[in-house]
Homo-oligomer: A and B are copies of this chain.
Amino acid sequence: MTKKITIAIDAMGGENAPKKNIEGINIFLKRNSKKNDFLILIFGDETILKEELIKNNIPLEKIKIVHTNSVVSDEETPLTAVKNSKNTSMWNSVRSQLDGAADISLSAGNTGVLLVISRMILKTMKDVSKPALAGLWPSKKGMSVVLDLGANIECDEKNLIDFTEMGSALYKSIFPEQKPIVSLLNIGSEEIKGTEVLKKTYSQLKKLDQKNNFIFNGYIEGDKLMDGESNVIITDGFTGNVALKTAEGTAKYITDSLKESLSENIITKASVILSYFSLKKFKSKLDPRKYNGAIFLGLNGPVVKSHGGTDALGFYYSIDLCYRIIKGGLMDQIKSNLSHLNDQS
């Protein structure tokens, strides 16, 4: 019997926890009822969690509750977290990776605290200069991986190269059939554009392209992020965070404007009924819950951050992401990719 994929879930983090977390687990269990290759560890208050499990009629054979007394408070900051977060549900779920009890952990709690304690508990991998936060980005052809989304506000070329190898490994673990096409986010597509760090990264990626981990596609501009021509998009954490939030804000502005226009009067409301299925498909394609889950890469074990405000379905998507990442052998992929970097010297 091969080892089961074990996912440690902080059941107490995020809005409406643990209700939405347990409901998300329930969706995952239902959609994967025929699979026997996984186990879910649920961290939180045993009494409350048991109640939620019973309420949802959740069968218990693929889950295990690990009782924890406390929860990371909303007021906690990255600065105070290490002192105050020990033995919380978040802390213990991450720590379970340390002794091999889990392969990956997931939380919808405070992002800053999760990054700090993950780094502290799991430590940065050998050969990785800085860990990075990677996200899934919708595109015309499916989805891409973008990193860093905010773990490092300033990056040098060594960091960006590491991000490329880790991001490519992540993409391969999710889409095993494809060799990732990598682009570097810049403000022009010509080779001479951009900062010194970007130019140095560009010339190194051109060489690394031949190592066969990825195909380097040069620079990409912000307006091409969603074209789907690139699978892995590399940037520093400041730019990545601004790009991500600007895209979210723009999407919200447009869909709000559309909703407003379509609910203006009785005729437009009637038109919505006619186009119900198409609009539903449109909405589904853009549904941010499908892309829920940022992956913290470069530690001795992957940690996934779910959006705090997502619902049960969104939380389900990040559990599914955890499952796929581990099934796709993320950690081995990262190690293999990074070893190519060392060959180089």
Query: Which chain A residues have a beta carbon within 8 Å of chain B's beta carbons?
Result: 138-140, 150, 153-154, 185, 187, 194-195, 221-227, 235, 237-239, 241-255, 257-258, 260-262, 264-265, 267-268, 270-275, 277-279, 281-282, 285-286
Contacts and interface: CB of A to CB of B under 8 A. Distances in A.
Report the 9 A-B pairs with minimum CB-CB distance, sorted nearest first. Answer: A222-B245, A271-B274, A222-B246, A223-B249, A271-B275, A261-B282, A261-B278, A187-B241, A223-B245
A245 B225 CA distance: 9
B261 A268 contact: no
Contacts of A278: 261-262, 264-265, 268, 271
Contacts of A248: 222-223
A152 to B, nearest CB: 11
B272 A245 contact: no
B253 A140 contact: yes
Given A187-B238, A221-B245, A282 B270 contact: no
B242 A261 contact: no
Contact of A239 (B140, B238, B244, B257): B238
B254 A225 contact: no
Contacts of A238: 187, 194-195, 239
A247 B153 CA distance: 21
A254 B251 contact: yes
Contacts of A268: 274-275, 277-278
A86 to B, nearest CB: 23
Nearest to A253: B226
Given A241-B222, A249-B224, A257 B285 contact: yes
Contact of A274 (B195, B243, B244, B274): B274
A138 B257 CA distance: 12
A195 B195 CA distance: 16
Contact of A222 (B194, B225, B243, B271): B243
Contacts of A241: 187, 222
A77 to B, nearest CB: 9
Given A223-B252, A249-B225, A242 B274 contact: no
Contacts of A267: 274-275
7 contacts: A187-B245, A222-B248, A223-B249, A246-B247, A261-B281, A271-B273, A274-B274
Contacts of A138: 253
Contact of A261 (B150, B222, B275): B275
Max count, chain B CB within 10 A of own CB: residue among A195, A243, A281: A243
Contact of A286 (B154, B224, B252, B254): B254
A81 to B, nearest CB: 15
